[in-house]
Amino acid sequence: MRLARPLSPAEFGLTAHEYERIRECLGREPNRLELGMFGVLWSEHCSYKHSKPLLRRLPTSGKFVLQGPGENAGAVHIGDGLAAVMKMESHNHPSAVEPLQGAATGVGGILRDIFTMGARPIALMDALCFGSPSHPRTDHLLSGVVSGIAFYGNCVGVPTVGGSVTFDPSYNGNPLVNVLCLGVVDSERIISSRASGVGNPVLLVGSATGRDGIAGASFASAELNADSEEQRPAVQVGNPFLEKLLIEACLELVGDDGVVAMQDLGAAGLTGATTEMVTHDGLGMDVDISQVSRRERGMTADEVMLSESQERMLIVARRGEEERIQRIFERWGLRSDVIGHITDSGLVRILDGEQVLAELPANFLSGGTPEYAPPPVSSPASANGHAAEPPFRPPANLSETLLEMMELPNICSRRSIFEQYDHMVQINTVVPPGSGSAVLRVKGTSRGLALGLGDGGAAGLVNPRLGGALAVAEACRNVACAGATPVALTDCLNFGDPERASVWTTMAEAVEGIREACLALDVPVISGNVSLYNESEGAPIRPTPMIGVVGVLDDVERHAASTIEPGQVLWLLGPATGGLARSQYAMELQGWPGGEPVNLDLDLEKRVQTCARDLISAGTVRGAIDVTEGGLAVALAELAAVSIVGIDAADFRGPSAAERSDATLFGEAPSRIIVAAGAEAAGLVESEGVKHDIPITRLGVAGGDVITIGAAISVTVAAVRERWLGGLERMSDLVGGDHAS
C-alpha cells in the first residue's frame, strides 16, 4: 500500500509556527484543501501580518469620511448627496512575469473594488516604476504594462486621466504597477461586503472559474527570482468586455432591497471572498463547489477555491429574491450560480454535494494570522540632517544644462504613454493628462474632483520618514494646484522583504512620516494596499510609499491647469531655492546623490497649498504647477513647453548673490508652487502671500518664443519642446508597443 506524502507547511507558504497555531485551533491535522486556504489567506498579500501594527497608526476618520479602511474601498462625502469612492492597489509581481496581463488585470481588480461599493468608476490613474532605461528588460516591461493598462481601461470604458512613471535601477527586476480608481455613488446607497441573514443564498456571478491565477496571493507574497517566469499560471487573464457587463449589471442592483452584500473575487479567489463576507458577527457560509461553473475540465477542489479567475463577484441575496436577481444578470448575458448560503455556525464549510471537504472557523481563517515585528535596527537618518557640500562647480552653459534636464527619464514628457489611453470616455475629464492635475466634473452638479499622486522619491532612501511625508505633501499639492481641497487619501506601500529588520524599520519610518503629514494637512487615509517582497537579485526596491489624494472643487469652472497665456505674470509661492542633494540634476547629470534632502516644513506646506487654492477658487489664478523634479527652471520650461509660450524671467535673481546658480535653478525642495495670473492681479497675489505668511517671488511674464531665466538661461521654446517631448522615444523606443506580449 502506498502512503500519502506528508503535507509540508512550506509548500503552502506557511511557517512551522503558523502550522502549529492552525493545528492547535482546529484540534486536528488540516487537510490539503484547508492548508491551501490558510496558505493564501495567511499570505502577506492578504493578511498584512507584517504591516497591520503599523497601519493602525494612520488617521482614518474625518468630517467627510463615510467609510474608512475595512471595506473594498473607502468613501467620502463630496456634497450634493454624493460620495467619492477611492482605492489604490498593486499588481507588481504579475506584471513582472506577464506585463500585459499583469497590468490589465490590475486595472480590472481595482475597478471591481469600486463598483462593488455601488459606485460608478469614473477615472483611473496609474503609478508605474521601472528599472534603468538601459536595463535589457525595461523596454519589454514598460511597453507591456502600458499596453495592458490601455487595453483594459479603453475597452471597459473608464478613462485613464493621469499617472506617473519613475525610472530607478532598484526596480530593474521588480517593477511597480499601482493603479488607482475613483468612483461616484449616492451616499445613501453604498453597498457593503458584510453578509447578514442566516439562510440567505450566495450567488457567484460573472466569468466561469478556470485555472488562471491559482494561488496568486501566495505568488505576490514571495520574492521574485530566476524561477518566476515559470509561475505564469499565477497571473490572471482579463476580459474587459465581460467586466463592462458586470459593472452595468451590478450598478443596476444598487439600492435593490434584494441585495444584502456584494464582494468581488480578487486575491485568494473564492476562499478570500467567502471568508471576508462572514468574518463579522459570528456568521458562517456553506459553499457547494459542485455548483461552481468551470471553464476547464478536471479541476480539483483546491483549484476551484484558490483560482483567481477574473470578472467574478459574490452576492448575498435576500432569501426568495435570488431568482429575480439571476434574471437581471441573465439579461446582461452573465452567468450566475447559487453556490451556497449564510449560516450561523461561524464556519466556512466547503462541500462537494453532500461531502464536506473543509470546515474552518471563519474568524480564525481570516484574522488568526500572527502579527510580526522584526527587532528594530538603528533608525534611518532624521529629517533634520543637512546636505553635504556638492563636490562640483555650476556648469558654464546653464542653457544647455536645462535642455539636458528636459530629456532626463524622470523629467521628460509622458505624452507617448498617455496618448495610448482614452481619457475622454464618459466626458467627465476637464483637465486631460499632460496639462496638470486631473480634474473631473461631477455630472448633475457644479462640483469637480481632482486627483493627485505622490511618492517619496529618492529622499526615502536616506530618510524614509521624510519620504513618507513628502509623498503625502506632493499628492495634496497636486490637488491644490487644481484649486481643490484634499479630503481623502489612499495609499499603496511598496517595500522589500519585511522579514529583513532593515526593511521593516524603513517601512515603519515611512508610515510614521505618512501619519505626520496626514495629521498636519488634515487628510485621512480611507483605503490602501501593502505590497511587500518587492526584491530582485537579493536587494529590495527603494522605499516607495505611493499616495493618491482626491480633492473637491465646489465650482469645477474655477480650476487651474499647468498652462500659461501671453501677458500673464508668474509668481513662485514658497522658498525661492532648493537643495542639490538627491535632486535629479545632481544625481543624473553630476553623478552625485549627496546627503540629506531639504527638510519638509509641514506648516509651511499647508500655508502654500492654501494660498494657491484660495487664489484659484477666487478666479485670480488659472495656471499653476508645483515645483518638483528638476527644480524651478524645469517647472518654468514645462509650463512653456505645454503652452507653447515663452517666459521672460530675465529679472529673476534668486534669493541672494551668494546662492549657487545651479541650486537656484535646479535645486529641489517641497512647498513650492508657480502660479500665473493677469498683470492686474499682482496686488491680489502678493497680498495673499502676506496673508498666508509665505515667501512669494515675482518670476516674470509669459510671452514670445524664448525662455529666459535671469542672466543664466536663454533657450527657445521649440528647443525645449524637442528635447522634452522626444525624451522617451530616445530611450530605445520604450513605448512603441513592439514588445508588449
Percent of the chain with pLDDT over 90: 84
Query: Is residue 677 pLDDT above 60, yes or no?
Result: yes
Tell me, what's the pLDDT at 524?
98
Query: Is residue 220 pLDDT above 60, yes or no?
Result: no
Over residues 426-438, the pLDDT tens digits come to 999 999 999 889 9
- At 280, the pLDDT band (50, 70, 90 cuts) reads confident
Query: Is residue 176 pLDDT above 70, yes or no?
Result: yes
Over residues 698-733, the pLDDT tens digits come to 999 999 999 999 989 999 999 999 999 999 888 765
Over residues 529-557, the pLDDT tens digits come to 999 999 977 899 999 999 999 999 999 99
Tell me, what's the pLDDT at 538?
83
Phi first, then psi: give them for residue 225, nearest 5 degrees. Answer: -145, -170
User: Considering only CA atoms, which of 3, 73, 49, 105 is closest in space to residue 498?
Assistant: 49
- At 281, the pLDDT band (50, 70, 90 cuts) reads confident
- At 231, the pLDDT band (50, 70, 90 cuts) reads very low
What is the CATH number assigned to the segment(s) 9-42+192-369?
3.90.650.10
The H or E element spanning position 251 is helix 240-252
Tell me, what's the pLDDT at 227?
52
Phi first, then psi: give them for residue 376, nearest 5 degrees. Answer: -65, 150
Over residues 345-360, the pLDDT tens digits come to 999 999 999 999 999 9
Options 45, 77, 423, 559, the catalytic residue:
45
Helices and strands (H and E) in the chain: how many: 25, 28
Residues 6+ apart with CB under 8 A from 517: 468, 469, 470, 471, 472, 473, 523, 600, 602
- At 225, the pLDDT band (50, 70, 90 cuts) reads low
User: Considering only CA atoms, which of 641, 457, 692, 442 is closest in space to residue 556?
Assistant: 442
Over residues 53-94, the pLDDT tens digits come to 999 999 999 999 999 999 999 999 999 999 999 999 999 999
Over residues 499-510, the pLDDT tens digits come to 999 999 999 999
- How many Å apart are CA 151 and CA 128, to the nearest integer? 16
Query: Is residue 685 pLDDT above 50, yes or no?
Result: yes
Lowest mean pLDDT among 6-15, 300-309, 552-561: 6-15
- HSE toward the beta carbon, residue 551, CA cutoff 13 A: 30
In angstroms and rounded to an integer, the radius of gyration of the C-alpha atoms of the chain is: 26
Place of cell 453578509: 195
Higher-pLDDT residue of 216, 248: 248
Options 50, 77, 91, 692, the catalytic residue:
91
The answer to whether the Cα torsion of 36, 42, 45, 47 is positive or negative is: positive
For range 198-213, the mean pLDDT: 93
Tell me, what's the pLDDT at 611?
98
Does the annotation mark 91 as catalytic?
yes
Over residues 251-262, the pLDDT tens digits come to 999 999 999 999
Percent of the chain with pLDDT over 70: 93
Cell of 563: 498652462
Question: Coil, strand, or helix at residue 544?
Answer: strand
Whether 406-412+560-729 and 9-42+192-369 are alike in CATH topology: the answer is: yes
pTM of the model: 0.94
Query: Is residue 458 pLDDT above 80, yes or no?
Result: yes
Tell me, what's the pLDDT at 254?
95
**Per this entry, what is the length of the chain?**
741
Place of cell 504594462: 145
CATH 2.160.20.10 corresponds to the domain 406-412+560-729 = no
Torsion of CA 520, 525, 529, 532, to 10 degrees: 30
Q: One-letter amino acid identity for 665?
A: L
Sequence-ordered alpha helix ranges (H) in 566-630: 584, 602-617
In the beta sheet, which residues pair with residue 540? 535
- How many Å apart are CA 410 and CA 412, to the nearest integer? 6
Tell me, what's the pLDDT at 731?
77
For range 186-191, the mean pLDDT: 96
- At 5, the pLDDT band (50, 70, 90 cuts) reads low
Cell of 490: 489612499
CB atoms within 10 A of CB 134: 13
Q: What is the mean pLDDT of the chain?
A: 92
Cell of 40: 493564501
Phi first, then psi: give them for residue 71, nearest 5 degrees. Answer: -110, -175
Strands, DSSP E only, in 170-274?
176-186, 201-206, 259-264
Strands, DSSP E only, in 586-677?
621-626, 647-649, 673-677
- How many Å apart are CA 257 and CA 578, to the nearest integer? 57
For range 641-667, the mean pLDDT: 86
- At 595, the pLDDT band (50, 70, 90 cuts) reads confident
Tell me, what's the pLDDT at 252?
97
Strands, DSSP E only, in 344-387?
347-352, 355-361
- How many Å apart are CA 7 and CA 10, to the nearest integer? 9
Chain mean position to CA 491: 6
Tell me, what's the pLDDT at 222?
53
Does the annotation mark 739 as catalytic?
no
Over residues 731-741, the pLDDT tens digits come to 765 544 443 33
Tell me, what's the pLDDT at 383?
41
- How many Å apart are CA 600 and CA 617, to the nearest integer? 26
- Say what angle helices 501-521 and 602-617 make with each other, to 10 degrees: 50
- By the 10 Å C-beta count (0-12 exposed, 13-18 middle, 19+ buried), 186 is classed as middle
Lowest mean pLDDT among 339-343, 396-400, 592-596: 592-596
Over residues 400-426, the pLDDT tens digits come to 999 999 999 999 999 999 999 999 999
Tell me, what's the pLDDT at 657?
54
Tell me, what's the pLDDT at 172?
94
- How many Å apart are CA 146 and CA 106, to the nearest integer? 12
Would you list the domain boundaries of the chain?
9-42+192-369, 406-412+560-729
